[in-house]
Amino acid sequence: MKEEALKEFVDNIIQERMQSAFSKMKAGKEPDTEDDVEKKYEEAVASLPEDKQQAVREYCDAIFDSGAESEIFFYRLGLQDGIRLNKIVKKIIRSVS
């Protein structure tokens, strides 16, 4: 139970950090390029029959979801590596002092 709570806490920290960084990145970007891509996507999907629209949207959602999973995995991996590296550096500093 304690380990689950810790994992949930770490998940929340990761999500908050990613949202914060993403918001800062979006604030500095020009919205035209993403808006243009979104418009083209919507126009292309709208030109399809209703059943095909749903299939395309589900496919795109699946791609985005799998990408999000891998981003979280690699972010978490990097966070763990950073924590380990920090501990190692602290041990080295203590042993040298």
User: What is the reported pLDDT for 76?
Assistant: 85
Alpha-carbon Rg for the chain in angstroms: 21
Cα 50 to Cα 64: distance, rounded to the nearest angstrom: 21
Residue 93, amino acid = I
Domain extent at residue 72 = 2-96
User: What is the reported pLDDT for 95?
Assistant: 92
User: What is the reported pLDDT for 34?
Assistant: 61
Query: Which residue, 92, 91, 88, is CA-closest to 80?
Result: 88
Q: Provide DSSP, 39-60.
A: HHHHHHHHTS-HHHHHHHHHHH
Q: What is the pLDDT along the chain (97 residues), one digit of tens a residue?
A: 687 887 788 778 877 877 787 777 777 766 556 668 888 888 888 999 998 989 998 998 888 877 777 788 888 888 888 898 889 999 999 998 8
Q: Report how many domains make up the chain.
A: 1
Query: Which residue, 15, 23, 31, is CA-closest to 75?
Result: 15
User: What is the reported pLDDT for 81?
Assistant: 87
